[in-house]
Structure 1
């Protein structure tokens, strides 16, 4: 049988298929939505004359007694189905607690998707200098809110909005120049800038496995389109994504493999291979202004798609909207895991508690209750941060925390890693040969797509490869807590004219851990560890990201590297909140491919998407670590314990 892969949950929390894949069945009897709510369907007109399909669930108590409820809304490109007033679904609610608390729930198909009119664009640009009939995602929300206030009975005049991933992006756009009735918003795993470390590109490299998996199913639609009877699947005719993509060759060939009609969204992704006007127009961060609502941005430390989006959204709102209530929550979750999963573990890592339940009951519900219903003060800190390693929630007055001070972890001779800069007076370096036709895998096992476990995946398979450099500290004598961005500062050279520089921060477990700590690990983890996993000596990926060498100076104007010329490259990879425990080691791995998580760099300065087989060239990469060229990874460390 040919293996198939369902449309991934990557950007589709509101997909029934995703819920079926990732959610364990509830033990109590499900909440009787139909007995407590009346469903309505509307076609809401907006300023340019288009009509947006909108589903409204009103508590029957509001209709019977005149009691007033706040609105809680989500906007989605993934369908507000099931369609029909007699067909009920609960994808619009963050949890059953919200259903029991009582809200007027609203779900809207965004412009051009499923039952809404208009033309859909991937992350359609927010318009500036709008005329009275100029529409975008922000005005669509503004017009919808006013329509709801005018036409739906039983409300208290207050509206909240939430959503995960793409619906998180639409939550962000909803509060730009926001309607005054919007009192609370929770963008969760929101797309902030598709090119800069969100779904599309990381460090100038295409996030290949994820985008291909998603865009083989997410395609343009005719209007209107009802929800399909079964969600689309794609037949890879393979069991191993590594071999599958390697055989296809360049990105143009990969684009053709999607189907006869291709997918214009994938074509746009690979054609816009630098930070050009296409991406700048779609960056939502600079538009996050004039926000009147309280905001709670939510993200996951192991979100393989939109980790950076949550952090960037929080920072943009913080800088551009002084004085508003703006808070951040980062938990130990995969994409949408705070709603889909228990949040007690991932792969071999046990987080020690049901972190998703804590978030839903102690943070999210109190946030909306306070701002939409006048409930008691939720007393949320500026930043609610789950610290992995110690497995505790921390509260900070800002993120990154002011307590975290910059410290450099230097690469040293002999594969060592230390806090003291090298003192050697001659040029020392380590080198490896990188072959783009034999790229370094991003996981040590066979898989299709981008498994969620990769964010904590064991790196022992990579540490033994000759094309991966490995540096590690001595055994730690005390805990080291890192909180904030991870910033490689490397002195490098290549024999080619382009190169990827992948830097991974790794937590190395003591070698003498036996089988006992792994007992019941498959039961506690949302995603179990790979078969045959051994905890002793585990090299847990804490964070990793690439920089494509051609973008070392500018993401807008790529520039060839000069063969043999030593250059300093600086870049940031996404934040962490992690404690390396006493008895562990800190490791850094450096390599020049990470396949097929990111696309292959041919290591020659050519147009990558159309690179010919002869353009993929073997290159010798060097990383220097001496007094005048002290390669290091900059961390933010909280000194002196707690």
Structure 2
């Protein structure tokens, strides 16, 4: 009998309303990168919109085996292919069908990349090929993408090809130590293990094989970050090993910080930076790049920042709700249609309309409307002080006081009500979780204002100014800014009494003197810990209260601080984990506060 295997089947049939081409584009070193080009039939003189991805270009352009392009492309791309764009996806070097070696967040050529190629050169070579070989194009290219794709959209602006005329980095990975995927202010984020394993393993990748039990119990049982990695064979994964070897903000991390790299280069590509107000993965990057580049934007027409009411990458999905929060319509669709598409059109279309992209575009939660601003932050920083009797005060309390709690690494404060499984919707929505589950714990301090009689509108990143000391030699501090809803709300019973986080962020105490120079804390000595919460545009409404919570763990998202001194927390041993009494000061010369960027009424 003859073999009935067929070499190939072209699932794009003649009746399809689109053209789909697959090419392998050569780079300057001979490596070929797998690229898929897709657009509606009949298109000509059209701009190209490029995404360079580690997540599979083939999948991004074959969501369904349909003959209708709107069913084939990703949901967020329907707007672009329906408005005359040639959509291009490319597997980055070493991923999926592309040749070459893969390096997680490959640094630019230099001290930590001795090769002659990086994402900047690969983008340049790709665009050069596209404008010379895609006859339907008008020779203009934009870039777009979220998370890792946002990182590549930023890297493409370094020594940019002249045809690159606009870029939209969404929730970009910018600084993995300061506040994006792997650390926040020195505290290690354990979920990175699953990402790194899935991202860099050719066979057998995916999530860590810890079973189907609860994540809180699983991480607690395994001990330190290093012990956990060793047990599950993760030390053989280069990306994981490198993170474990660099617990402090050393040259390795600083060189990779994209905002620092871009700040040293000319600003040549118009940029619309996008982030979600409750981005659980990359809340730091987009605002950091905005702050780094805005001083170069002398005509105020090159760099814009957008903040929507979304989770990580939420701009590309349906934006009507997040957890129990409901918004006025599909906020993500509103943003794509009213801001993203006009931004691209004015820079990329042959007969382009005038550009009117606002400097800052934010969705004001609480008020439930889009707003534009000329600067960011767009409020005057005003201290909201911790006060006696677990109150909050707009004026500095004259009387000094303090509140204490015992932080026990054997019983860390959970990030969510238990049981915890850090996947699916639970992970996507954890930053809007009702905080009443933590409010009653003895190792959480909750300070509350009175009922507000007028709105408090904040636009920017609230700043923590915490005076505290520990009985140990190290400590983490977590601060939450919370909107407390009225106890009764018959119209929205799910939100009655809800404690909605408007910002949750951690600081690892050993870095109080400098992120590159960890040192033990002196037991009983008061320190002033300062850091920022994520950027928000939010209105605390009359009838609500403002709450600030302070605690010393947020588990299992962040690894536990042993609270004794060890050179690297990554390698702490069971005997290193000790209880410590944490004392938060208020009033007098040690007046703890959260500084709110309050916008004028």
Question: After TM superposition, is the score higher than 0.5?
Answer: yes
**Unpaired runs of at least 5, structure 1:** 1-30, 223-227, 519-533
In structure 2, runs of 5+ residues without a counterpart are 1-11
Q: Does 1:295 align with 2:271?
A: yes
Corresponding position of 1:491: 467
Give 1:557's aligned residue: 517
Offset from partner CA, 1:548-595 (integer Å, 9 cap, x none): 000111110101000011121211222221111101110000001110
Residue 52 of structure 2: SS of its match in structure 1?
strand
Q: Does the 8 Å contact 1:178/1:291 carry over to 2?
A: no
User: Could you tell me which residue of structure 1 aligns to residue 158 of structure 2?
Assistant: 176
Match of 1:391 among 365, 368, 373: 368
Give the 3-state SS of the residue equivalent to 2:353 in structure 1: coil
In the alignment, the residues of structure 1 paired with residue 410 and residue 279 of structure 2 have an alpha-carbon distance, to the nearest angstrom, of: 29
Contact 1:125 1:136 in 2 (8 A): yes
Please, which of 425, 434, 441 is the counterpart of residue 414 of structure 2? Answer: 441
Corresponding residue SS for 1:81: helix
Residue from 546, 560, 564 that aligns with 1:600: 560
Q: Kindly provide the CA deviation profile for residues 414-443 of structure 1, in whole angstroms up to 9, marking residues without a partner as x.
A: 10001010111xx42111110011000111
Give the 3 Å change call, closer, same or farther, for CA 79–574 of structure 1 in structure 2: same
Relative to 1, partners in 2 of residues 1:428 and 1:34: Cα closer, same or farther, differing over 3 Å? Answer: farther
Q: Would you say the 8 A contact 1:93–1:99 is kept in 2?
A: no
Give the match for residue 159 of structure 1: 141
Moved beyond 6 Å, runs of 4+: 31-34, 83-89, 129-133
Q: 1:186 to 1:84 in 2, by over 3 A?
A: closer
Q: Is the 8 A contact 1:184 1:368 kept in 2?
A: yes
User: 1:221-370 counterparts in 2 under 5 A?
Assistant: 221=202, 232=206, 235-259=209-233, 262-288=236-262, 289-323=265-299, 324-340=301-317, 342-370=318-346
| Per-residue deviation, 1:635 | 1.2
Q: Secondary structure at the match of 2:307?
A: strand
Number of residue pairs aligned between Structure 1 and Structure 2? 577
- What's the offset of the Cα at 1:623? 0.9
Taking structure 1 as the reference length, the TM-score comes to 0.85
Kindly report which structure 2 residues correspond to 1:498-513, keeping only aligned pairs within 5 A, or say none: 498-513=474-489
8 Å Cα contact 1:190/1:313 also seen in 2: no
Secondary structure of the structure 2 residue equivalent to 1:442:
coil
Give the equivalent residue in structure 1 for 2:9.
Answer: none
**What is the aligned counterpart of 2:199 among 207, 214, 218?**
218
SS in 2 for 1:95: helix
Quote how far apart the aligned CAs of 1:94 are.
Answer: 3.4
Aligned partners of 1:238 and 1:244 also within 8 Å:
no
Question: Displacement, 1:78?
Answer: 1.0
**C-alpha displacement at 1:32, in angstroms?**
10
Corresponding position of 1:186: 168
RMSD: 2.5
C-alpha distance in 2, partners of 1:33/1:199?
A: 44
Helix, strand or coil for the counterpart of 1:386? strand
Aligned-pair distance for 1:261?
Answer: 7.1
Structure 2 residue 526 is the aligned partner of structure 1 residue 566 = yes
Quote the Cα distance in structure 2 between the aligned partners of 1:338 and 1:34.
32
Query: Is residue 595 of structure 2 the alignment partner of residue 622 of structure 1?
Result: no
Please list, as runs of the form range in 1=range in 2, the aligned pairs for 1:416-495 lying within 5 A after superposition.
416-424=391-399, 427-449=400-422, 451-495=427-471
CA contact (8 A) 1:202 1:546 kept: yes
Counterpart CA distance in 1 for 2:216 and 2:469 is 27
Distance 2:530 2:78 in 1: 46
